[in-house]
Amino acid sequence: MKVDVVEAYRLLYPRPVVLVSCMDPQGKRNIITLSWSMPTSFNPPMVAVSIGLQRESCRMIKEAGEFVVNVPPSKLVREVLLCGTISGRNFDKFSEAGLTPAPARRVRAPIIEECIAHLECKVVDVVRTGDHALFVGEVLEAYAEENFSKRRSEVLLHLGGEEFTTPVK
């Protein structure tokens, strides 16, 4: 079966979903739902997230130079979908989604309290990749719920579009 190259990236799904939180230098906070994230280095520990150039979070992370990768459990599927479909320019996604911002340990951007793991990152490189920016972040701090290894099966997977491994109820 031939696949349109514009849609070829969907052959890489399902992918883990993360909620990336950020805060610009003026103190405005935001959340973006992403499934385009990956580890890039063991030493030093680094991860990368790919964000559309037109997204508010792209601007905010460029300005602040930091972000937090938050791992949501599957029970947050509705909140994940909401954070991926409304713009942070027009809405406070924390309030709209009913998610709780909490202080991070090493960066200004907040963590999302309802998530089961967090990676606090400082941007060390930005690569423009067509209509996206790939933010490479050095992981400054990483932590998870005590029972994270038992809850890893609850990690939400994105199937593409508005489809997830857990149905939106």
Could you tell me the CATH number of the domain that includes residue 147? 2.30.110.10
Per the domain annotation, does 164 fall within a domain?
no
Per the domain annotation, does 67 fall within a domain?
yes
> Amino acid letter at 106?
R
Report the largest interatomic distance among the alpha carbons of the chain, rounded to a whole angstrom: 50
Per the domain annotation, does 118 fall within a domain?
yes
pLDDT in tens, 10-31: 889 899 999 999 999 999 999 9
Contact between 129 and 135 (Cβ < 8 Å): no
> Which tokens is 69 given?
């990768």
Per the domain annotation, does 165 fall within a domain?
no
Per the domain annotation, does 82 fall within a domain?
yes
pLDDT in tens, 36-54: 999 999 999 999 999 999 9
| Local confidence pLDDT in tens for the 169 residues of the chain | 898 888 888 889 899 999 999 999 999 999 999 999 999 999 999 999 999 999 999 999 999 999 999 999 999 999 999 999 999 999 999 999 999 999 999 999 999 999 999 999 999 999 999 999 999 999 999 999 998 888 888 889 999 888 888 877 6
Per the domain annotation, does 140 fall within a domain?
yes
Structural domain tally of the chain? 1
Per the domain annotation, does 40 fall within a domain?
yes
* Full domain range(s) for residue 88: 16-152
